[in-house]
Structure 1
Amino acid sequence: MPVNAVTSLLIILAVAATTFATRAVPFLVFPKGKEIPKVVEYLGKVLTPAVIGMLVIYCLKDTQIMAAPHGLPELIAVLAVVVLHVWKRNNLLSIGAGTVLYMVLVQIVF
């Protein structure tokens, strides 16, 4: 469905305003010098690992262990991500290399 120029501009403005608001609201709600509530500090510590854990489970939920290749590409890619992350401590490198390795394994090897 084609979108005219005015609609495109309105969409861009809405996305820009929403993005700006999500960046600015925390500074308005928690100004400098005001103590951050303990629950917000707790969520800041636990949400990142929880989201990563959910993403890992989501990515591996449809792995076919009973049929060939028995989850080997997934296992090799996950091990590569873990080893790279423990070694280099670089999220972009470990996730990127794991994704490329998985695609090579699935498309070429298995």
Structure 2
Amino acid sequence: MTDYRHALIIILVMGLMTLATRILPVLIFGRGEKVPDYIMYLGRTVPYTAMGLLIVYCLKDVSIASAPFALPEIIAMAAVIGSYLWKRNSILSVVVGTVLYMFLIQVVF
């Protein structure tokens, strides 16, 4: 199969899966029906759980015993927390933390 056909198939499948995730809740719960309490509970708790999992995954290989002693990670996390507390903007905080971390590991450390 040629590369462009392969890419087209991948894009189509991804588009269909994205569409399915948007339509499936409407088909399951209908329009106007009350959403079950356990689904509401999952909607409130899963985002925090996912963020915690991502933090643990990102920091699992950080070594505090060897140079740079996790300084880039600590500085970037402090910048994320500080920028979020300052502006209350999640996207801005992620961008600030990512740019600062990349700068620290590429240029400074």
Q: Deviations over 1:23-58 (max 9, x none)?
A: 101111111221111110000000000001110111
* 4+ aligned runs moved over 4 Å, structure 1: none
Displacement after TM superposition at 1:69 (Å): 1.0
Give the alignment's TM-score, normalised by structure 1. 0.90
Q: Deviations over 1:49-94 (max 9, x none)?
A: 0001110111111111000111111000000000001111111110
Is the alpha carbon distance of 1:8 and 1:64 closer, same or farther for their aligned partners in structure 2, counting shifts above 3 Å? Answer: closer
2:3 aligned partner, one-letter code? V
Determine the C-alpha separation between the residues in 2 that align with 1:74 and 1:9: 38
Residue 39 (1) aligns with residue 38 (2): yes
Give the match for residue 58 of structure 1.
57
Give the match for residue 3 of structure 1.
3
Query: Which aligned pairs between 1:8-27 and structure 2 lie closer than 5 A?
Result: 8-27=7-26
Give the alignment's TM-score, normalised by structure 2. 0.91
Unaligned runs of 5+ in 2: none
Aligned length, in residue pairs: 109
Unaligned runs of 5+ in 1: none
Displacement after TM superposition at 1:4 (Å): 5.1
